[in-house]
Amino acid sequence: MKTNYQVRYAAHPEDARSYDTERLRRDFLIENVFSANEVNMVYSMYDRMIVGGAMPIDEALPLEAIDPLKAPYFLTRREIGIFNVGGAGTVRVGDETFHLDFKEALYLGSGNREVVFESDDNSAPAKFYFNSTTAHRKYPDRKITKADAIVAKMGSLEGSNDRNINKMIVNQVLPTCQLQMGMTELATGSVWNTMPAHVHSRRMEAYFYFELPEQDAICHFMGEPDQTRHIWMKGDQAVISPEWSIHSAAATHNYTFIWGMGGENLDYGDQDFSAITDLK
């Protein structure tokens, strides 16, 4: 097995206005989330969120404490949310084992213990996508399914944004320090997410897009509401959204995405919206 990581630094919004396509992609896009028998992660200086993925095939993959953490275990001073977006698999946490099927999630609180990812079937490997934020105290571990989620149905087929927002790792479902995560599923014929666009200066966010056919692509919009930029993405890729940036997308096919937030505020509805006609 192998653990790969990058450190991404934060940018002032006025500086980001001058970024070309290459710089935008280098700073905000996470192209390689899953690799066979590897753990990949990006340590972002936006609220120190770590975004990553583990794809065990014929070996178990431990979640290692990368050097920037300066800690004996990955979870020593962190909490983590894990979604399985592949075949069935298990997450071993100390002496406990959690089984995750497709689109099931797991929250782990902070504490000194090992975390190990495994697939049930090598021919259909699990894909564990995770977000991790710093934690000031330990909250109980818990598996979360869509049946546990708070579901908000939003948009319409006429507006090309008929979608279900499954709020799964949120404070209305279970306690966390700062991490909030969920999964939004777009209906067939719908392609727009998070529109009207918004920002939330109290939280940063990361989006992970999946269930997008290989021949299709997604255009993720970011930037200040009057200085928007775009990043073309494929399925199984993630993107970092600073607290000053909108985060919205349209694709050539419907898709599913996982959103994760870190910051000082746990209120999901605390957002500053921009009218669609005001975006530039």
Has this prediction a pTM greater than 0.75? yes
The token duo for 209 is 């897009």
Q: How many CB atoms lie within 10 A of CB 151?
A: 13
Give the single-character DSSP code of 24: H
Residue 231's φ and ψ, nearest 5 degrees, are -135, 120
Residue 99's φ and ψ, nearest 5 degrees, are -95, 130
Query: Per residue of the chain (280 residues), what is the pLDDT tens digit?
Result: 799 999 999 999 999 999 999 999 999 999 999 999 999 999 999 999 999 999 999 999 999 999 999 999 999 999 999 999 999 999 999 999 999 999 999 999 999 999 999 999 999 999 999 999 999 999 999 999 999 999 999 999 999 999 999 999 999 999 999 999 999 999 999 999 999 998 998 999 999 999 999 999 999 999 999 999 999 999 999 999 999 999 999 999 999 999 999 999 887 878 888 999 999 9
Judge whether 152 and 167 are in contact, CB under 8 Å.
yes
**CA atoms of 87 and 79, how far apart (whole Å):** 24
**CA atoms of 3 and 278, how far apart (whole Å):** 43
Cβ neighbourhood burial of 280 (10 Å; 0-12, 13-18, 19+): exposed
Name the region of 155 (left: φ>0; alpha: ψ -120 to 50; beta: rest). Answer: left
Q: What is the pLDDT of residue 265?
A: 84
Q: What is the pLDDT of residue 267?
A: 79
Judge whether 180 and 173 are in contact, CB under 8 Å.
no
The token duo for 72 is 């004996």
**CA atoms of 25 and 202, how far apart (whole Å):** 24
Amino acid identity, position 205: E
